[in-house]
Amino acid sequence: MALTENIGEATLSGLAYVGNLARLAGQAGYFIFIAPFKGERLRLGRAVHQAMAVGVEALPIISLITFFVGTILALQSAYELRKFGALQFVASAVAISMTRELGPLMTAIVVIGRSGSAFAAEIGTMKVNEEIDALETMALDPVRFLMTPKLLAMLLMMPCLTTWADFMGVLGGSVFGVGGAGFTVGTYVRATLDALVLRDIVTGLVKSVMFGLVITAVGCHEGFSTGLGSEEVGRSTTRAVVQSIFLVVIVDLVFTALFYFTAPR
Amino acid sequence: MSEADKLGPAIAARNLRVQYGEREILHGISFDVPRNETVVILGGSGSGKSTLLRTLVGLERPSSGEIRICGKNIASLSPPEWDELRRKMGMSFQGGALFGSMTVGDNVALTLREHTQLEESTIEIVVRLKLEQVGLAGFGNYMPAQLSGGMKKRAAIARALAMDPEILFFDEPSAGLDPIIAAGIDNLILKLKKAFRMTVVVVTHELASAYLIADRMILLDKGVIVADGTTAELQASSHPRVRQFLDRVPEPELAEELDYLQMLTGDIPPPRK
């Protein structure tokens, strides 16, 4: 009896959590997509500021990581492919796994570590210092004021970062391709372009937008639900990272399955 | 009868109850805050005075009872009406609650930029004026972290004054400040009250500052009002709890064995979320 109760309770609280995220994302989405048409000001300046922080400043680390992931991918696929003497497929293996899966996913992981945690820490600290209360007494909606610029920045920057990550991954793969699999730079690029169809890139970008939504919603939700006391900020930040990674993987699974079953054969 | 009296009290609370979860903090309290007067809400730690203030500014919802601010029942207001009313209220938080990512000047300018159509040059003048009023002229470009505790509190008051509010709320204005700085804040409140004829609500446990600034005092104890009257009335009161608070008599030791047992084994109330 206790077991089923526990399972039921965990399921309900999980659903409630997702519901809270959806409500928060819905509010922020309203301020981005609907409120501006009703004459309310969208804080573009702050969104640009956020876009610099979550996007541009993440470029070096994302470049480095995805470059190496591209090389690793080439090595791993070559390990299996050379058994069949099919090393010429390394380029397409790297291209397809980077654009469809690892480009968006690695970008999301880095962004969670850099920005998702920062959202939770920033909003959590404001909550502890009564700054969120101050916003409310000043008739400024905390979601509109704090979350909307972050969400707008994330929705714009995640596809950009992911595109760049795809490119760096292919570049990383080409190091092995040219150095160890008998490609020239020209043939590697040719093989990559032949292997990719638009759908591969688009599905990756759709995922990256969804990841951006999840990361922002979780980061801000954890920030807003921070309790009293500074140790709570640390706890929120940790929770934001763990929950974001988990939910990003779930969203990834759902969308990958969706794309698989809707793909033309 | 003056103009202010005809408009009714600035704040009227009737049978107000507030609870956190299962635990009731305020047990049905009623009081008026007359216009253009300074009311000090006194009470010890855990008396519910901070909760009362948070409820008055709308950060907590009462579980029953009603609050009228400027004659409007705040429970029945639509969100835009509530925002409109909030612009007439200024709140100075205990720790200042300045936005750490903005300069002091931007903190003061925030509501003006968000809620008015004023030109940027006008806003700058207003900001300088407000900072000057609280004795922080020239500190507009400092970050809150660069200010001392007393200066932060002054900056927070400047921010609360930005929209020329009709009602000003203070949460523990002198908490954590040395006596000289605290006296400076008291003087500032007196000055503002004289200059702008604002309604001021102050929550504090500092008796000295309460005597100095209050027109009326409300003494709160364990979620109920034990005294409500002018400063002179309170000082003349013979109510035991009032006398105990004003004469600074400590709680008697737990004498009864049963009380002591209850203290050891009784339910400890859950912490506030």
Q: Is the pLDDT of residue B1 over 50?
A: no
CB contact under 8 A, B54 and A133: yes
Q: Is the pLDDT of residue B5 over 60?
A: no
Confidence grade of residue A64 (pLDDT, cut at 50, 70, 90): very high
ipTM of the complex: 0.84
Q: Residue B257 has what pLDDT?
A: 65
Give the model confidence (pLDDT) of B138-171 as tens digits: 899 999 999 988 899 989 999 999 988 999 999 9
Chain A hits for B90, Cβ within 8 Å: 137
Q: Which residues of B touch A (CB under 8 A)?
A: 54, 57-59, 82-84, 86-87, 89-91, 93-95, 97-100, 110-111, 114-115, 272-273
Q: Residue B192 has what pLDDT?
A: 85
Q: Which amino acid is at B38?
A: T
Kindly give the interhelix angle for B149-161 and B120-133, rounded to the nearest 10 degrees: 130
Q: Retrieve residue A77's tokens.
A: 């696929």
For range A159-175, the mean pLDDT: 96
CB contact under 8 A, B99 and A125: no
Q: Is the pLDDT of residue A220 over 70?
A: yes
CB contact under 8 A, B91 and A134: yes
Q: Which amino acid is at A144?
A: R
**Which of B59, B98, B273 comes nearest A133 by C-beta?**
B59
Rg (CA), chain B: 20
Percent of chain B surpassing pLDDT 90: 29
- Who has greater pLDDT, A130 or A40? A130
Parallel, antiparallel or unpaired: strands B167-171 and B64-69: unpaired
- For the residues of A86-107, what is the DSSP string, one character each? -GGGHHHHHHHHIIIIIHHHHH
Q: Which amino acid is at A82?
A: R
pLDDT, chain A, mean? 93
Q: Kindly report the nearest CA distance between residue A55 and chain B, in angstroms.
A: 20
Q: Which residue of B60, B84, B110, B113 is the best one to mutate when testing the A interface, meaning the one whose CB has the most A CBs within 10 A?
A: B110
Q: Residue A161 has what pLDDT?
A: 97
Q: Which residues of A touch B (CB under 8 A)?
A: 125-126, 129-131, 133-134, 136-140, 227-228
pTM of the prediction? 0.87
Q: Residue A109 has what pLDDT?
A: 97
Q: Which amino acid is at B234?
A: L
Q: Residue B267 has what pLDDT?
A: 61
Give the dihedral sign, CA B55/B57/B59/B63.
positive
Name the nearest CA neighbour of A219 among A197, A245, A256.
A245
CB contact under 8 A, B59 and A137: yes
Q: Kindly report the nearest CA distance between residue B57 and chain A, in angstroms.
A: 7
CB contact under 8 A, B111 and A126: no
Q: Which residue of B60, B93, B167 is the best one to mutate when testing the A interface, meaning the one whose CB has the most A CBs within 10 A?
A: B93
CB contact under 8 A, A129 and B97: yes
CB contact under 8 A, B93 and A133: yes
Give the model confidence (pLDDT) of B57-85 as tens digits: 989 888 988 899 988 888 888 888 888 89
Q: Kindly report the nearest CA distance between residue B54 and chain A, in angstroms.
A: 9
Q: Which of A121-125, A175-179, B150-154 has the lowest mean pLDDT?
A: B150-154
Q: Which of A37-46, A122-131, A233-242, B144-153 has the lowest mean pLDDT?
A: A37-46
Residue partners of A157: CB distance under 8 A and separation at least 6? A51, A54, A55, A212
Q: Is the pLDDT of residue A132 over 90?
A: yes
CB contact under 8 A, B114 and A140: yes
CA-based nearest residue in chain B for residue A141: B83
Q: Residue A72 has what pLDDT?
A: 96
Name the nearest CA neighbour of A93 among A172, A185, A162.
A172
For range A14-28, the mean pLDDT: 94
Chain A hits for B82, Cβ within 8 Å: 139
Q: Kindly report the nearest CA distance between residue A50 and chain B, in angstroms.
A: 13
Q: Kindly report the nearest CA distance between residue B160 and chain A, in angstroms.
A: 8
Give the model confidence (pLDDT) of B214-259 as tens digits: 999 999 888 888 888 888 888 888 888 888 888 888 777 655 666 6
Q: Residue A218 has what pLDDT?
A: 97
Alpha carbon distances (Å) from A87 to A72, A75, A178, B17: 15, 10, 11, 75
**Which of B87, B90, B93 comes nearest A130 by C-beta?**
B93
Q: Kindly report the nearest CA distance between residue B159 and chain A, in angstroms.
A: 9
Q: Kindly report the nearest CA distance between residue A138 and chain B, in angstroms.
A: 6
**Which of B82, B94, B97 comes nearest A131 by C-beta?**
B97
Q: Is the pLDDT of residue B6 over 60?
A: no
CB contact under 8 A, B95 and A130: yes
Chain B hits for A133, Cβ within 8 Å: 54, 59, 93, 97
- HEC string of chain B? CCHHHHCCCCEEEEEEEEEECCEEEEEEEEEEECCCCEEEEEECCCCCHHHHHHHHCCCCCCCEEEEEECCEEHHHCCHHHHHHHHCCEEEEECCECCCCCCCHHHHHHHHHHHHCCCCHHHHHHHHHHHHHHCCCCCCCCCCHHHCCHHHHHHHHHHHHHCCCCCEEEEECCCCCCCHHHHHHHHHHHHHHHHHHCCEEEEEECCHHHHHHHCCEEEEEECCEEEEEEEHHHHHHCCCHHHHHHHCCCCCCCCCCHHHHHHHHHCCCCCCCC
Give the model confidence (pLDDT) of A69-92 as tens digits: 999 999 999 999 999 988 889 999
Q: Residue A135 has what pLDDT?
A: 93
Q: Are A217 and A146 in contact (CB under 8 A)?
A: no
Q: Residue A108 has what pLDDT?
A: 97
A184 DSSP 8-state letter: -
Q: Residue B266 has what pLDDT?
A: 67
Q: Which of A28-42, A49-63, A139-153, A197-211 has the lowest mean pLDDT?
A: A28-42
